[in-house]
Amino acid sequence: KDIIPPLEQLMVEKEGYLQKAKIADGGKKLRKNWSTSWIVLSNKKIEFYKESKQQALSSMKTGHKPESVDLCGAHIEWTKEKSSRKNVFQITTVSGNEFLLQSDIDFIILDWFQAIKNTIDRLPKD
Ligand code: I3P
């Protein structure tokens, strides 16, 4: 029998490591805590895995769920005010979750910004 990969795997648009800090959950401010995250962008959501791709793959087998962010109606913008770090942008979801993403490497963060922005722009706003 042919092995058919789950649809979600076919729709991955970009994946890689970034620095991530969640700063609000459902509109409620959180204490900022930067950590490295393996980030998987598909055509309608972003998944944040706590550590490496390896752990991400093994968590798929164990059924352990990553943090999943619905990009429908989300906003993305560069910010200089929310961090002392360079190359930081913020994603705000309809549900009031706020994430900062950062990389010291200019082209890496620019690629991610464009990819996420393109995904958001392609989605219905509500
Ligand atoms: C925070 C930590 C963050 C820093 C944040 C600090 O301290 O140093 O890295 O954000 O600054 O409050 P703590 O670990 O004690 O919570 P940046 O690295 O993004 O500047 P902030 O309060 O100005 O957001």
Residue nearest to atom 21 of ligand 1 (CA): 83
> Could you list the mean pLDDT of each consecutive 10-residue stretch along the chain, which spans 126 residues?
64 94 97 94 93 67 81 98 98 98 98 98 88
Ligand 1: residue of 32, 83, 87, 109 to mutate (most ligand atoms within 8 A of CB) is 32
Give me the pLDDT at residue 50, please.
82
Cα torsion for 90, 93, 96, 99, to the nearest 10°?
-30
Give me the pLDDT at residue 10, please.
62
* ipTM for the predicted complex: 0.88
Give me the pLDDT at residue 99, please.
98
3 state SS for the chain: CCCCCCHHHHCCCEEEEEEEEEEEECCEECCCCCEEEEEEECCCEEEEECCCHHHHHHHHHHCCCCEEEECCCCEEEECCCCCCCCCEEEEECCCCCEEEEECCCHHHHHHHHHHHHHHHHHCCCC
